[in-house]
Homo-oligomer: A and B are copies of this chain.
């Protein structure tokens, strides 16, 4: 443990680590662990979808020519895939275009400009609009709020989800709080899944604002990495039990199932919410790409097809997660200079270093040719108050690249930690 070392021992360790770091730096590497991007090998898994799914047959089960206009909320066989995946009903779902980020953005844009069901007026007509942001979280969620001038309030994480005491207290008192961002399963970047109790407390929220919504971004609901995957309670079902089924919007996509660039995005919510949203959406478009919906429905056939497909993804990315976790266990754990959660699924490992080391670690990695997500990016306004959280995205590089990259990362963590400890000891 670094903290048990004498000043001299630490100085010697620093010299050794620094030498190692300079060696890596001299190699002139170029490695990227910055984004949750599937590897080429993963994309290949779905290639057949592009070849034979539409051979002269463009008519959906319900008789829709998917080449032509119409069907705002998506064709039935595509809905059926996601009804099973999200455990929602036929009238509780909209299948959209290729981006769930776009669906979330559009949903907030509609709330700002047109208003939410049950609201007194569009959000943009309020003096202030606020969102609760459990953090570390997904930088693109926070960016949407920032772009629209929505004030973000950071909510810390506990082991089984965000701090519910704080959330219950805040939403019950402040009408300006209109929403909360959640990635409830294999969260980005923490990799944790909300416990049953946390989900039930969400379903029991009593927000002061009539037009408060939980933005439940279930992006990783089938992205398991072990034989003992996490289980997430169905928030819509739980909200029905409390009579608050209009309080939640659920999002997911096939970006990391089929293709990030050409998948399907999904919005699920209560039937009343869906009907309200469809009426608003009709101003924006006549319909999303139904040919791509038909491709997906025919390729996967049913939810079992998706589950089987995800096993192939797991076979590719599990070794990559293990390469990162093994290195952290070996190199960092004995030194007491970092914490992380071993995720059962998802796309990220979140590393918490000593306070004040994250920016420096990312900088050191960058100078040695390893690109990480910017330090701070996992917090609202890009500011990590303790400067300690770093998101690691292991899926895109090869296992060999990854082993190299994580060696460099561990070296950078050590160096940054010693620097901080030396600084502290000087005080």
Within 8 A of B (CB), among A290-322: 290-292
- Once the chains bind, are B101 and A285 in contact (CB under 8 Å)? yes
Q: Which of B47, B114, B147, B290 contacts A56 (CB 8 A)?
A: B47
Docked-complex contact B147 and A259, CB < 8 angstroms? no
The verdict on A193 contacting chain B, using a C-beta distance below 8 Å, is no
Proximity string of chain A (24-43) to chain B, C-beta cutoff 8 Å, 1 when within and 0 when not? 00000000000101101001
Closest to A47 in B: B56
CB distance from A124 to the nearest CB of B (A): 5
**What 1/0 mask marks residues of chain A from 237 to 281 whose CB sits below 8 Å from any chain B CB?**
000000000000000000100011110000000000000000010
Q: Is the CB of A113 within 8 A of B105?
A: no
A65 is an interface residue with CB less than 8 A from chain B: yes
CB distance from A38 to the nearest CB of B (A): 7
Contact among B51, B101, B148, B261 for A68, CB-based, below 8 A: B261
A138 at the interface (CB under 8 A from B): no
Q: Are A259 and B102 in contact (CB under 8 A)?
A: no
> Chain B nearest CB: distance from A51 CB in Å?
7
The yes or no answer to A163 lying at the interface (CB within 8 A) is: no
Q: Is A143 an interface residue (CB 8 A)?
A: yes
A291 to B101, CA, bound (A): 18
Query: Interface size (A, Cβ < 8 Å)?
Result: 52
Q: Is A55 an interface residue (CB 8 A)?
A: yes
Contact assessment for A68 and B114 in the assembled complex, using a CB-CB cutoff below 8 Å: no
Is A344 among interface residues, defined by CB-CB distance under 8 A? no
- Residues of A74-109 whose CB lies within 8 A of B: 97-99, 101-102, 105-106, 109
Q: Does A70 lie at the interface of the complex (its beta carbon under 8 Å from any beta carbon of B)?
A: yes
- Chain B residues with CB under 8 Å of A102's CB are 284-285
Q: Are B291 and A66 in contact (CB under 8 A)?
A: no
The residue that A113 contacts in the complex, of B113, B140, B283, B288, with Cβ under 8 A, is B113
A148 partner residues in chain B, CB cutoff 8 A:
113-114
Within 8 Å of chain B (Cβ to Cβ): is A287?
yes
Residues of B contacting A3 with CB < 8 Å? none
- In angstroms, Cα B112 to Cα A216, docked, is 26
CA distance A177 to B415 in the complex (A): 59
The residue that A67 contacts in the complex, of B97, B147, B261, B285, with Cβ under 8 A, is B261
Q: Which residue of B lies closest to A148 (CB)?
A: B113
Q: Is A289 interfacial (CB-CB < 8 Å)?
A: yes
Residue contact B280 to A147, C-beta cutoff 8 Å = yes
Distance between Cα atoms of A260 and B143 in the complex (Å): 32
Q: Chain B residues with Cβ under 8 A from A69's Cβ?
A: 35, 37, 255, 260-261
Q: Is the CB of A284 within 8 A of B67?
A: no
CB pair B289 A68 closer than 8 Å: no
Shortest distance between the CB of A161 and any CB in chain B (Å) = 26
Contact A284 B105 (CB under 8 A): yes
CB-defined contacts of A47 to chain B, threshold 8 Å:
56, 58
Q: Does A54 contact B (CB under 8 A)?
A: yes
Contact across chains for A37 and B68 when beta carbons are under 8 A apart: yes
A5 within 8 A of B: no
Task: Evaluate contact between A261 and B66: CB separation under 8 angstroms.
Answer: yes
Nearest Cβ distance between residue A394 and chain B, in whole angstroms?
16
Instruction: Give A46 to B58 CA distance when docked, in angstroms.
Output: 12
* B97/A262 in contact, CB under 8 A: no
Can you name the residue of chain B whose Cβ is closest to the Cβ of A261? B290
Q: Find chain B residues with CB under 8 A from A19 CB.
A: none
Nearest-neighbor residue (CB-CB) of A97 within chain B: B97
- Contact sample, A vs B, 14 pairs, CB 8 Å cutoff: A40-B65, A40-B68, A50-B54, A51-B54, A65-B261, A66-B261, A101-B285, A102-B285, A105-B283, A109-B113, A113-B148, A140-B283, A259-B291, A261-B287
Cβ-closest 3 pairs across A and B: A262-B291, A105-B284, A69-B260
